[in-house]
Amino acid sequence: MPIFSVWIEKASEKAKLMFLVLWGVTLLIPYINYFISPYLWGTCSWNSFGTLYAFAGFNGYLLLGHYLRRVEWSWRKTIAISLPMFIVGYLVTFFGFRHMTSLPDFTPDMLELFFTYCSINVMMMTFATFMMVKKIEIKSARVQALLANLTLCGFGIYMLHYFFTGPTVSLARALDVPIALQIPFASIITFTFTWAIIAIIKKYVKNSKILVG
């Protein structure tokens, strides 16, 4: 992160766009590896991105957010581009997942293929959501303060939420929550608990930044 941040400060807009283009290519690799060939551009057991290793992974999302925060579209253009992009990304994710789970002997890797974070369909939904949320203007000082706190706690929430995902899904099943609502239910519970814990740590623990960012 520190190295990448320094590069972003010095890089030209053209260099950033080139990085994003190459990163976009890497978002296709999970599907290329599965449906075409597991060994492409130098990929192997210890290099899943091959030649494009330096442009792959979550750094692309960091740069995409950095780049898009300065892109201003009208509401009309935002909806016209973002809504179809989200729908297409969602449909690929949904029907890809349905296809994999319909196979008789699917593996955990196959199960997760179509919601791999660094995949083109997930990026499309992320892009669309970011651009639409960015257009929302919030005037309430209380809500602004709440969102500011969420931003402050965001990294800690990310670090902690893994401990709650399994138990909250088990809780949803134990409470007989309808299947279609189990993941949303677990997500809300996980988000609420982790945010509360990190906010308390931030407020009362000295040097909490060392612990939770």
Q: What is the pLDDT along the chain (213 residues), one digit of tens a residue?
A: 778 888 998 999 999 999 999 999 999 988 988 898 888 888 777 877 788 888 888 999 999 999 999 899 999 999 999 999 999 999 999 999 999 999 988 888 888 999 899 999 999 999 999 999 999 999 999 999 999 999 999 989 999 999 999 999 999 999 999 998 999 999 999 999 999 999 999 989 888 888 887
The answer to whether the Cα torsion of 68, 71, 73, 75 is positive or negative is positive
How far is the CA of 90 from the CAs of 25, 49, 94, 97, 191, in angstroms? 19, 24, 6, 10, 22
Could you state, in order of their start, the residue ranges of all structural domains in the chain? 2-134, 141-212
Q: How far apart are CA 62 and CA 54, in angstroms?
A: 14
The answer to whether the Cα torsion of 118, 124, 127, 132 is positive or negative is negative
**Residue 183: helix, strand or coil by DSSP?**
helix
Reported pTM: 0.82
pLDDT computed for residue 24 by the predictor: 95
Q: Which amino acid is at 103?
A: L
**Residue 19: helix, strand or coil by DSSP?**
helix
pLDDT computed for residue 49 by the predictor: 78
